[in-house]
Amino acid sequence: MSSAPVRVGLIGLGTVGQGVVRVLKTNAEEIARRVGRPVVITHASTRDLGRKREVDLNGITVVSDAMSIAADADVDIVVEVIGGHTVARDAIMAALARGKPVVTANKALLAEDGNAIFATARKAGVPVAFEASVAGGIPIIKAIREGLAGNRISGLAGIINGTCNYILTQMTVKGQSFADALADAQRLGYAEADPTFDVEGVDAAHKLSILASIAFGIPLSFPAVACEGITRITAQDIQIAQTLGYRIKLLGIAKRGAAGVELRVNPTLIPDDHLLAKVDGVLNSVLVQGNALGQVGFYGRGAGGDATASAIVADLVDVARGLGADPRHQVPALAFQPESVQELPLLPISQIESCYYLRLRVADEPGVLKSLTGILAGHDISIEAILQKEPRGEDDATVALITDRVPEHRFNEALAAMQALPFVREGAARIRVEHFKD
Amino acid sequence: MSSAPVRVGLIGLGTVGQGVVRVLKTNAEEIARRVGRPVVITHASTRDLGRKREVDLNGITVVSDAMSIAADADVDIVVEVIGGHTVARDAIMAALARGKPVVTANKALLAEDGNAIFATARKAGVPVAFEASVAGGIPIIKAIREGLAGNRISGLAGIINGTCNYILTQMTVKGQSFADALADAQRLGYAEADPTFDVEGVDAAHKLSILASIAFGIPLSFPAVACEGITRITAQDIQIAQTLGYRIKLLGIAKRGAAGVELRVNPTLIPDDHLLAKVDGVLNSVLVQGNALGQVGFYGRGAGGDATASAIVADLVDVARGLGADPRHQVPALAFQPESVQELPLLPISQIESCYYLRLRVADEPGVLKSLTGILAGHDISIEAILQKEPRGEDDATVALITDRVPEHRFNEALAAMQALPFVREGAARIRVEHFKD
């Protein structure tokens, strides 16, 4: 094996790209001690050549054309950190076509187009590494794909969007409204000017589909993820949940059962003594359930230039060490050998089973609870906890309850029946509940 | 690459060995989907051939001689789970001499003899995998060695002995004495009849030396670990710590600073809102600090047959996939290329800096606090918190305090000066404190 430096072409010089430049320089000696030779960025591309960067680009040939990086004969490995679909996809495909391994943080691209990208990489006999695509610097891809390889994984749940976790934490700690907490997050740079992808759960759904694929050995199935964001969570629901012993988190949840696989992103009540409930602010955390190990958990920084760069450089070390190796010894991109990746039935959301938190505004009159509990009993739904709050002044009363496990369609039927009652006001809140029992 | 089954020789059919048999059978299909071919145990050895096992040994040639497994031409990979030094070491060395990769859970052997074992493996061009040696099924070796490869790791801290964590948890939750909690742990099978290795911190020190080696790129340095167990922890100290906002855990701590590396196992006060403080019972957890990622944490089952087997089988999947691969592409056993493993100065315990918890019994008379705080001030030691408990009946008073960071030798000098005071009784308790600030 050569001792010449490994030459990296970096597509993108935004926050993450600059993080990669900085981490590779700062830790150059450690990285060379790990790989056996230096790993250096020789080429980089950016749309905005004139912009001043906070990192030292000395020694790096900076160009405006991403495709030229992918095509450059002097680049051994291509790192893609521009995000998006068009240029990123073209550059990745071009690099693979030239036999160059690729490292990417692009969860949206992989979730939506990964099956084709991994097939191309396989034909080329080179890896596409993507540790940075989920949960920033937490090595969750490697942990699930390799570290838990002895297990049949039955499910996983994760706080995998730092923006939503920051907003929900602020709403919990400060009693803020969603709108106020979002505005704070935007001011601090934790949320984009257009926060839709984060707060509607789309980003988490991208990441969840990647995790589910490597956990279960199924193709990437982003369109099948049932996705619900946090925009309708109120400070009142967070406060009632706390009274009942729960915290509200946006979770990505993947489960594999006899009937099929369920994939969903939704706000979730979780017991406040559970470790996931303690993961606050922009931290990420993932919990995995395996049949040999039981539950295992991971937490750390899910975003930020250097944390994401940590994962990209870890991939670079793996890929650099494997340059020139026989591809038959590679870890398969999606954890399972490509011919063993299997489609499994994906459950529609109406078929999933869950516990539910329900909050209703009701007129303050006799017999209300009797009618509501009667409807639940009539739909064979047990109640785990119930809370009635008296009206203040001329307000309506509030009834909140937590049910036992029930299929979603049956819960919805009961909810519709309750909402048809004359004393039930508009504006019910319904949030799923997870207890993470083994 | 052949599609014939990978043939595993298993040395040891105790709790962990039976776990390996069970997990490989239960998850045979998943594992074959990952590796690309089946992984099967063809040979096993046990000292006690007549003993009835709970697992199905059908199809496995069971023998009494461990060395015959290591020598068998029909065995592709050797798994060693007997523990101890003599037979385990001989069998591992014999397997390596025949070019067979080895998977082992033997932390004591690796901590004390690993440098020689890894050198032998390197010459033979085959891996020795040891994920199961630390923190059971938590993939912490892989996470530090590969997942955090982009970081310069400055320190780590872990709850890496389930027996001690169970005992301390019981003492905290039930107010039990150490002796009573130990007796319960023994009754439940969480502690050995002779618990010395666990409760004196030796087992944790073995594991810590392995973690420190792969985190810092230093040789295995077990003899340099300063080791203090939990036998002198009292229910009173646990209760006072709680009052001050702390929990007491046995931690393995490794830090790398300008002056050198510190390696120690000791009971530690940690803030009760820290995630490590929530890791109770027999669970393990490790926190790692990297310069790119910041803090990242891992938790899960640190012991038990199936949890440990989870890690062994993960290693088997890695090793099986790499059978016949060019060894230059292997991940180095100790994370860094062998020629890059560097001795660093190892600090004696007197040189380390820490915050301290101190509890003293003192006569109930005027001027006591003034004298004590005067001595601390005279040694340039700041006080973070202080608590004085009035005597009940004819008892002495209790003074407990938490100091700021101070070098150990200076704290010890102040403590000696305090203990020389006429009103200070025998039996001071001194426990280190960690705040895990970034």
> Tens digits of per-residue pLDDT, B274-321?
999 999 999 999 999 999 999 999 999 998 899 999 999 999 999 999
Which contiguous run of DSSP H or E holds residue A296?
Answer: strand A294-301
Tokens of A54: 């906070």
What's the one-letter identity of residue A18? Q
Under 8 Å between Cβ of B97 and B121: no
- The closest CB to that of B314, out of A149, A307, A316, belongs to A149
Judged against a pLDDT cut of 60, whether residue B419 lies above it is answered with yes
Contact (CB<8Å) B142/A138: no
Q: Cβ contacts (< 8 Å) between A321 and chain B: which residues?
A: 329-331
Tokens of B235: 């229910």
Contact (CB<8Å) B318/A291: no
Tokens of B213: 């080696």
How far A158 CA sits from the closest chain B CA (Å)?
14
CB contact burial B335-361 (16+ within 10 A = b; e otherwise): bbbeebbeebebbebeebbbbbbbbbb
Which is nearest to A16 in space by CA: A312, A314, A315, A319? A312
CB contact burial B228-249 (16+ within 10 A = b; e otherwise): bbbbebebebbebbeebebbbb
The domains of chain B, with CATH numbers, are 6-137+305-340 (3.40.50.720), 140-300 (3.30.360.10), 350-433 (3.30.70.260)
What's the one-letter identity of residue B60? I
3-state secondary structure (DSSP) of residue B9: strand
Mean pLDDT, chain B, integer: 95
Judged against a pLDDT cut of 60, whether residue B120 lies above it is answered with yes
Task: Name the residues of B annotated as catalytic.
Answer: 207
Handedness of CA B230, B233, B234, B237 (dihedral sign): negative
Q: Cβ contacts (< 8 Å) between A313 and chain B: which residues?
A: 149-150, 292
Residues B66 and B80: their CA atoms lie apart, in Å, by 9
The neighbouring-strand residues paired with A265 are A227, A252
Count Cβ atoms below 10 Å from residue A243 Cβ, excluding itself.
11
User: Residue B438: its pLDDT value, please?
Assistant: 60
Contact (CB<8Å) A31/B149: yes
* Under-50 pLDDT residues of chain A: none
| Counts of helices then strands in chain B (DSSP H, E) | 14, 17
Q: Of A203-207, B187-191, B251-255, where does mean pLDDT reach its minimum?
A: B187-191
Best to test chain A binding among B2, B3, B23, B34 (most A CBs inside 10 Å): B34
Count Cβ atoms below 10 Å from residue B323 Cβ, excluding itself.
18
Judged against a pLDDT cut of 90, whether residue B88 lies above it is answered with yes
Contact (CB<8Å) B326/A326: yes
Task: Name the residues of A annotated as catalytic.
Answer: 207
Tokens 């940075």 correspond to A132
Tokens 């070390």 correspond to A317
User: Residue B1: its pLDDT value, please?
Assistant: 55
Judged against a pLDDT cut of 90, whether residue B32 lies above it is answered with yes
Residues A29 and B237: their CA atoms lie apart, in Å, by 44
User: Residue B289: its pLDDT value, please?
Assistant: 98
Residues in chain A: 438
Tokens of A39: 């790993």
Which DSSP string corresponds to A230-267?
Answer: STT--HHHHHHHHHTTEEEEEEEEEEEETTEEEEEEEE
User: Residue B54: its pLDDT value, please?
Assistant: 86
What's the burial of B381, exposed, middle or buried (CB within 10 Å: 0-12/13-18/19+)?
A: buried
Contact (CB<8Å) B30/A321: no
**CB of B321 within 8 Å of any CB in chain A?**
yes
Which is nearest to B203 in space by CA: B231, B171, B229? B229
The neighbouring-strand residues paired with A168 are none
User: Residue B395: its pLDDT value, please?
Assistant: 75
Which is nearest to B118 in space by CA: B130, B108, B136, B134? B130
DSSP β-ladder status, A61-63 and A39-45? parallel
Q: Of A166-175, A361-370, B190-199, B391-400, where does mean pLDDT reach its minimum?
A: B391-400
Contact (CB<8Å) A27/B292: yes
Tokens of B91: 């069998």
The per-residue pLDDT for range A342-356, each reduced to its tens digit, is 999 999 999 999 999
Closest residue, chain A, to B335 (C-alpha): A34
| DSSP-based helix, strand, coil % in chain B, nearest 5 | 40, 25, 35
User: Residue A263: its pLDDT value, please?
Assistant: 98
DSSP β-ladder status, A246-257 and A77-80? unpaired
Contact (CB<8Å) B307/A298: no
User: Residue B53: its pLDDT value, please?
Assistant: 85
Best to test chain B binding among A293, A299, A321, A438 (most B CBs inside 10 Å): A293
**CB of A241 within 8 Å of any CB in chain B?**
no
Judged against a pLDDT cut of 70, whether residue B131 lies above it is answered with yes
Q: Which of residues 110-169 of A touch B (CB under 8 A)?
A: 131, 136-139, 142-143, 146-152
